[in-house]
Each structure stands twice: as C-alpha cells, then as structure tokens.
Structure 1
Amino acid sequence: MKTIENILAEASGLAWGMPLLILLMGGGLFLMLYCRFAPFRHLGHSIEILSGKYHDPTAPGQISPFQAMAGALASTIGMGNISGVAVGIAMGGPGVLFWMWVSALVGMATKFFTCTLSVMYRGRNERGEVEGGPMYMVTEGLGQKWKPLSILFAAAGLIGTLPLFQSNQLTQIVRDVILRPSGMVGEDAFVANLIMGLGLALPVAVIMFGGLKRIAKVATKLVPLMVVLYTGSVLYIIFSNIGEVPHMFAMIFEDAFSGNAVLGGAVMQIIILGARRASFSNEAGIGTAAMMHGESQTNEPVREGLVAMLEPFIDTIVVCTMTGLAILITGVWQSGDTNGVSMTAAAFGEAMPAVGKYLLVLCVFIFAFTSLFSYCYYGSKCFTYLFGFKYSRVYDYFYISTVVIGAVITLTAIINLIDTAFALMAVPTMACALLLSPKVMAAARDYFGRMKAVNSKQ
C-alpha cells in the first residue's frame, strides 16, 4: 500500500504542475476578462433564471435548471467543503484559503463558458437521447478529429468521480466521534470500516438504480437542508468568536504571499494547493458540472451558463470560507492532524463541546450522500460514453464496490488519485472552453440583446 501511495503522490505532483495551473487559473482569468466580468454584471438575472421565471418544460433536457444546479451543488457542496478545506490548511497553512478564493472567482467565468457550451453542443447517446458534457462539447463543437480529448475526459472521469473520498471521510468521522469514544473499536478499525462501507453502499445502490430524475429529486430536497444545517453551525462558531475574525483574515492574506505556514516558505506551493482544493471543492474547469447542466430543460445555452456560474461563489467563497474560519478561529489547524474531517470535527467540538461533533456527523452524512448520488451519475455517463449502455450495470456494481473500498484505504492515496484524475479531466474541458469561447460570446451578445429588447418593451 505504501508503494501505491508513493506512485499516486508522484502522479499527482506531476499532474498539478505549472502547466495545469496556467490552464486553470490563467485560462479562467482570460475568460473572465473576455466576457467583461459577465458573472458579476448579471448576478441578478441568474437568480431570476434559478427561481424558475424562464423555465420551459417543453424544452429538450431531463431536469429543470434548479434541479441541474442542485444536482451539481450536491457534488460541489460536499466533502470538499468540510474535509478538503481542512486538508488544504493542514498542508499549506491559512494562505491556501486566499488562493481558493482566487480560483473560485475566475472559476465563475469558467463555469459560465463550460456550462453554456454543455447546452450549446449537446450530443446524442446510442439510444438517441440528448446528452451534455465535455465529451460531447469536444466532438460536437470542435469536430471528430478532437475525439481523443473526449476519450481522455471520459476515462479520467471514471476515476475522478469514484466515491472513495466521501466514503472514507464518513467512516472516519463516525469512527472518531461515535465508535472510539464508546469503546466499540480500537486502533485497528478495519472490520468496523468495512461494515460501515457495506452499510453505506446499500442506500446508495437504491438511489443510484433510480436514475437521474431520482438523483435530482433527492438532491433538490437535501441540498437546501444540508446548506442550512451546516452553515448555521459554522456561523455559530464564527459569531461566538467574532472578535478573532479580522485577525484571521489578516493571517490568511499575509500567509498567502509569505508562505510562513509551509515548510520552506514556498508561496507557489500554497497557490497550487489552493487551486487543487478549490478544484476539488467547486469543480470549475473540471467538467463534472457541465455533465449535469447539459441535461437541463432549456433552449437558451447562455441561461444555463448564468445559473452554473453561481456555484463556485456559493461553494468556495461562502461555504469553504466559513469552514476555514471555524478551523482557524478554534486553533485546531495547528494540531498536526492532516485528516480533514477529524480536524473539522475538532473545531466543532472545541466551539460546541456538547453537540458540535454530533452535528458535524449529521452534516457529513448528508454531504457525503448527496455527493455520492451526483458522482454516480457523472461516472455512469463517462462509462456509457466509452462502452455503451449494454454494460452499464457493470459500472453500477463497480461504483458501489468502491464505496466499500474507500472506507478501508488511506486518505492520502485517495486524495492523490482523485487529484490526478481531476487534472486530466481539466485538460479537455479547459481546452474546449478556450477554443470555443468566441461561440459563447456570440451567443451571449445575441441573448442579452434579446433580453434588453424585451425589457425595453415592458
């Protein structure tokens, strides 16, 4: 296992080098400037779209724009917000948060372009059904000669959307907060992890076999609940220590450019860590959300891009920041614990001794489940693109088995594996967004021109 961990660490380090950083953050900045800060200028209109004001149930697609956003947020507002932030701070210090913010702001433009393209260049699967996502964006938008990029995305997507991280962190917090304090498990918890993994796999299978509409229906109900429950708990921690907040922000900004918290003071290392954790959290530029938004019922691609661009803001600027502040305020980030969910649990326990850890267990349970639902949909789309529907059940059983595997292997191996897969997914997604960006801008000018004409008549 140690050898495998070393190989995965090497692969992750190679994948997340300077070229990918330039592609994700540099490409996102280019798109932000190219669209003249459209994500910020049209926030009001995007909220109107999300409210259902422009929803057309007769349009092609399987789910409403709100359901598409809820499904996408079910994977983005998940364990990356609870554990991913903690892992980033543990490895790189408070400054990681600043570079997560930067990644999220440029990621708003990235999602506007990629999710607009996911509707603009929808394809059809072997059943003749309308499908969206980077694999179709590439072939429909750039042509069949670019198909190797589609295959790369789908192959990497099979790995990147596995439920290993969610399963691992859920079993970790149940073990640390409930089982160990009660004396039910000792240091060797392999059997307990295995049993929990099997128990988690069963409900995932029930929801998963229900298809996209059941996934979207469950996500639509659970996402608002998990956001209210988690944000309410974290806000309590922050406001209970409100006097420390200015100092925490000052520390974040100082460390972002000094690298004091990182061994050797490598600022570039902090930037890369911030980009990696932001990508894992909000998935801007990775392409997973484009698969969900590509199924939205709409004839207006730009509208879907406007809805999708809200996700990095909600996920990283709001939710990740609150988690980071709770971890920094309570001081648990200096404990030396690099297990993300354990660190966040310690912060909750420090601030709310009686109920904090148990509240987090409930939050993690909901977050992990919603992520698992969305990820199984993403992975099945990648699988059927590569191998067709004939063997789709093979993937379903494989996915469910990895819920169990994730419960018993190490967090380090999981993070490096998923980071590597996400890096490979980002290459075709960002290449497509940059090459087809003039098409998006032409559609945006047409759309906003029509909206202006309609509003002037009212």
Structure 2
Amino acid sequence: METLDKIIAEFSSLAWGLPLLILLIGGGLYLLIRSRFLPFRYIGHAISILRGKYDDPNDPGQISHFQALTTALSATVGMGNIAGVAVAISIGGPGAVFWMWVSAVIGMSTKFFTSTLAILYRGKDSAGELQGGPMYFIMEGLGKSWKPLAVFFSFAGLIGALPVFNVNQLTQALNDILLIPNGVEVGLGSNIVIGLILVGITALVILGGIKRISLVACRLVPSMVLLYFILVLIILISNSDVLLKYLSLIFTDAFAANNFKGDPFLGGVIGALILHGIKRGAFSNEAGIGTAPMAHGAAKTDEPVREGLVAMLGPAIDTLVVCTLTALAILVTGVWETTGDNGVSLTASAFGSVMPTYGKYALLICITVFSMSSLFSYSYYGTKCMSFLFGADKKKYYNYFYILSILIGATTSLSMMINLIDGVFALMAIPTMIATIVLAPKVITETKAYVSRLKSNP
C-alpha cells in the first residue's frame, strides 16, 4: 500500500505541473478578458434565471435551471469545502485561501463558457437522449476528428467521478465525532459497516437517475448551506476580536508564504503556495474540470447563455462563500496552529472549540448531507462518461462499480484518495480547457446575440 501511495502521489504531482496551471488559470483569464468581464455584468440577470423567471416546461432538457445548479453544487459543495479547505490551510497556511479565491473568480468565467457550450452543442447518446458535457461539445462543436479528446475526458471521468475522497472523509468524521467519543472501537470492521450503510442509501437514490438525483439535491443543498452559514456565524461572533486580524493575514500571507509546509515549486515557496491554493480551489469548485457542464447540459432550456450565467454562480457560492466560511472558522479559533489535525478533523476541532456540546454534531449533520449529495451527483457524471464510451445501455454497470468503490473509500488513507482524485481531475481539465478555448469565439457570438435579444425583449 505504501508503494501504491507513493506512485499515486507522484502521478498527482506530475499532472498538476506548470502546463496545467497555465491551461487552467491562463485559459480562465483569457476567457475572462475575451468576454470583457460580461458574466460579472449579468449576475443580477443570472439570479432572475435561477429563480425561474425564464423557465419554459416545453424547452428541451430534463431538469430546471435551479435543479441543474443545485445538482452541480451538490457535487462541489461537499468535502472540498469542509475537508479540502482544512487541507489547504494545514499545508499552505492562511495565504492558501487567497489563491482559492483567485481560482474562484477566474473559475466563474470558465464555468460560464463550459456550461454555455454544454447547451450550445448538446449531442444524443445511443438511446437518443439529449446530453451535454465536454465529451459532447468536443464532438458536436469541433467534429469527429477530435473524438480522441472526448474519449480521453470520458475515461478520466470514470475514475474522477468515484466517491472515494468524500467517503473517506465522511468515515473519518463519523469516527472522530460520533464513534470514538462514545467509546466505540473503530477500525477496519467499523469502517466497513459505515461503507455498507452508505452503499445502501446511495443505491436508493442513484439508481433512480438524474431526475431523482436533482430532486434530492434541490431539497438538501440550500438548507444545509444555510445551516452551515449559521453555525460558522456563531463561531465568528464568538471570535470577533480576531476576525479582522485573520482576514488581513489571508492577504499578507498569500504573498509571504510564511506558513507553507510543502515542497517549493518553480524554485520558491510562493509558487508552491499558489499551486496549492489553486489546486484546492479547483477541487472545491471544479471550474475547468468538466464535471458541472454534465449537470448543466441536462437543463431545460433552448438558450445556452442562460445556463452559462446560472452555472457561473456555482464557484461564487461554493468557494467565495462556503469555503471562506470554513477557512475563517479554522483560522479564528486557532486550531490550525494548536492541533495536529488535518482534513475534516481540523474543521471539527474548530466547531468543537466554540460549541463544545453540539458544535461537532451539527457539523456532522452538514458533513453527512454534503457528502451524501456529492455521492449522488458524481454517480451521474460517471454514468454519462460510461454512456458516451460504451453506450447508454451499459451505464447501469458503472453504478454497480461506483457503489462498490464506496467500500474502498471507507477503508483507505486520506493521502492516497486525495492524490488519486487530484491527479485524475487534472487529466479531465486538459480536454475540457483545450476545447473551451478553441470554441470560445462561438460562445462570444452566442452571448452577443442573447444580450441583443434581451435588450429588445427584456
């Protein structure tokens, strides 16, 4: 297992090299400038779309704009926000949060382009169902000669969609918060029991397809984000005397890297901190990775730009709001300096330090719901990749494999899981970003036409 751990760590480090950083951040900046910051000028309009103002039940697609966003968010608002931020701070210090923010702002532009393309170039699977996502906009927008890129994305997606990190951290949370404090002995046996319970719940939802997944997601996600917000607000009010100090430290440490504990990158620790923050930001909001366009591609709309604007709200909610809440809770309580905890345990320590009786249990409720909703959405992404590669009639086999992998996630180490998913996410980003940059002029043309129609018929 140690050798496998090292191999996967090397693979992740190689995948997240300078070329990918240029592609994700440089590509995102190019899209931002190319669109003249248009997505940001239409945030109010995006919220109107999300509220259902422009919904038409007769439009092609399977789910509403709101369901598409909550399905995409149920995948991103999860362990990336609670455990991922804790990993970012425990290795990178407060400065890592700033680079997560940078990743989110650029990611909003990337999400706008990728999700507009998901509707603009929808394709049909072997069952004749309308589908969206990078593999379809590569084929429909760039032509059959680009098929190897679509196949590469789909193969990477089969592994990237596996729930191993979420399950690993949920198991750790249940052990640390619920079982160990109550005198239950934890080990392989208890982890397998947790894994089997998760298998049962996940199977009930994911075997019902995208409509059941989106129905569960749109009920669970908004209420859990609200509960999480209230809990963190209690922590921040309790530590209001140091709040400004840590907010300023996020900015100063981003360019000093005084608290970075990893290996240098490009000859320096600041370069390594930037890479670390952007990697954790990408894991959190998944902008440029290509997962969210698969959910947004199922939206009921015949206006691609509308869905792009709705998708753009994802990184703002996910990284700028939820990740910042987690980061501030960890920083103001001081647990990042006083404990040796990492991942979800570090966030639990922050909650427990302010709310000793109920804090950890309230966090556990949020973690459980966020993790479970992520499990549901990722299974959908995996089945889309499976359908594209082997035909729609084979997607059920992916669900069986997916359910089995829950047991692997519940019984393996955090470092192995986080490196595996990081590495595969990097591979998924390559075809997604290349195709998006090549097709960017088509999105600009479509956007100009949409804004013109909007002005003549608001």
- Is the pair's TM-score, using the shorter chain for normalization, greater than 0.5? yes
Please list, as runs of the form range in 1=range in 2, the aligned pairs for 1:93-242 lying within 5 A after superposition. Answer: 93-186=93-186, 189-242=187-240
* Counterpart for residue 302 of structure 2: 299
Letter of the 1:225 partner, please give it. S
1:82 paired residue number: 82
- Measure the CA separation in 2 of the matches of 1:239 and 1:215: 36
Q: Provide TM-score, normalisation by structure 2.
A: 0.97
Letter aligned with residue 167 of structure 1: V
Aligned residue type for 2:365: L
Could you tell me how far apart the structure 1 residues matched to 2:62 and 2:350 are?
41
Contact residue 91 and residue 338 of structure 1 kept, 8 A: no
Partner residue, 1:260? 258
Report the CA distance between 1:392 and its aligned residue: 2.3
**Post-superposition CA distance 1:172-212 (Å, at most 9, x none):** 111111111121115xx111111100111101001011111
After superposition, the C-alpha distances for 1:214-235 in whole angstroms (9 at most, x for unaligned) are 0000001001111111111011
- Matched-pair contact (CA < 8 Å) for 2:179–2:185: yes
1:15 paired residue number = 15
Contact 1:207 1:214 in 2 (8 A): yes
SS at structure 2 position matched to 1:309: helix
Identity %: 55
SS state of the match for residue 243, structure 1? helix
Give the distance between the partners of 2:191 and 2:230, measured in 1 at CA. Answer: 29
Q: Give yes or no for contact 1:201–1:403 (8 Å, CA) kept in 2.
A: yes
Which consecutive unaligned segments of at least 5 residues does structure 2 have?
none
Partner of 1:247 in structure 2? 245
Q: Distance in 1 between matches of 2:56 and 2:91?
A: 46
**Which residue does the alignment assign to 1:432?**
435
| Residue aligning to 2:313 | 310
Question: What 5-or-longer segments of structure 1 have no aligned partner?
Answer: none
Residue 393 of structure 1 corresponds to 396
**1:125-152 CA distances to partner (integer Å, 9 max, x unpaired)?**
0011100000001010011111111011
Q: 1:288 aligns with which of 277, 286, 291?
A: 291
Q: 1:375 aligns with which of 368, 375, 378?
A: 378
Q: Secondary structure at the match of 2:58?
A: coil
Distance 2:388 2:85 in 1: 32
Distance 2:340 2:194 in 1: 23
Determine whether 1:342 maps to 2:378: no
| TM-score, normalised with respect to structure 1 | 0.97
Q: Which runs of 4+ in 1 moved over 3 A?
A: 335-338
Query: Which whole-Å CA distance do the structure 2 matches of 1:247 and 1:74 have between them?
Result: 32
Q: Which moved more, 1:194-203 or 1:258-267?
A: 258-267
The amino acid of 2:221's aligned partner reads V
1:30 corresponding residue in structure 2:
30
Letter in structure 2 aligned against 1:309:
M
- Contact kept? 2:112, 2:312, Cα under 8 Å: yes
Residue deviations 1:139-174, cap 9 Å, x none? Answer: 100111111110111111111111111111111111
Distance 1:153 1:336, change over 3 A: farther
d(CA) in 2 for partners of 1:392, 1:322: 37
Q: CA deviation at 1:391?
A: 2.7
Q: Which amino acid aligns with 1:11?
A: F
Matched residue type, 2:381: Y
What is the match of residue 426 of structure 2?
423
**Does the alignment pair 1:365 with 2:368?**
yes
Contact (CA 8 Å) 1:339, 1:411: kept in 2 or not?
no
Is 1:118–1:134's contact at 8 Å kept on the other side of the alignment?
A: yes
Conserved 8 A contact 1:74-1:223: yes
**Quick one: distance in 1 between partners of 2:202 and 2:181?**
28
Deviation at 1:68, TM superposition (A): 0.3
CA distance in 2, matches of 1:283, 1:391: 26
Q: Does the aligned pair in 2 maintain the 1:90–1:336 contact within 8 Å?
A: no
| Deviation sequence 1:372-421 (CA, Å, 0-9, x none) | 01000001111111111333222111100111110000010000000011
Distance across 1 between alignment mates of 2:395 and 2:310: 30
**Which AA in structure 2 matches 1:348?**
F
The CA deviation at 1:42 is: 0.4
Alignment partners' CA distance in 2, 1:423 and 1:335: 33
Amino acid at match of 1:321: T
Deviations 1:280-303 (A, max 9, x none): 111100010000000101000000
Superposition deviation, residue 338 in structure 1: 5.1
Distance in 2 between residues matched to 1:56 and 1:140, nearest whole Å? 25
Would the aligned equivalents of 2:125 and 2:392 in 1 still touch at CA under 8 Å? no
Partners of 1:447 and 1:181 in 2: CA distance: 57
Output the CA distance in 2 between the equivalents of 1:183 and 1:318.
36
What is the aligned partner in structure 1 of residue 92 from structure 2? 92
Q: Aligned residue for 2:65? A: 65
Number of residues of Structure 1 aligned to a counterpart in Structure 2: 453
Matched AA of 1:207: V
Given residue 358 of structure 1, which amino acid in structure 2 is its aligned partner?
A: Y
User: Is 1:87–1:338's contact at 8 Å kept on the other side of the alignment?
Assistant: no
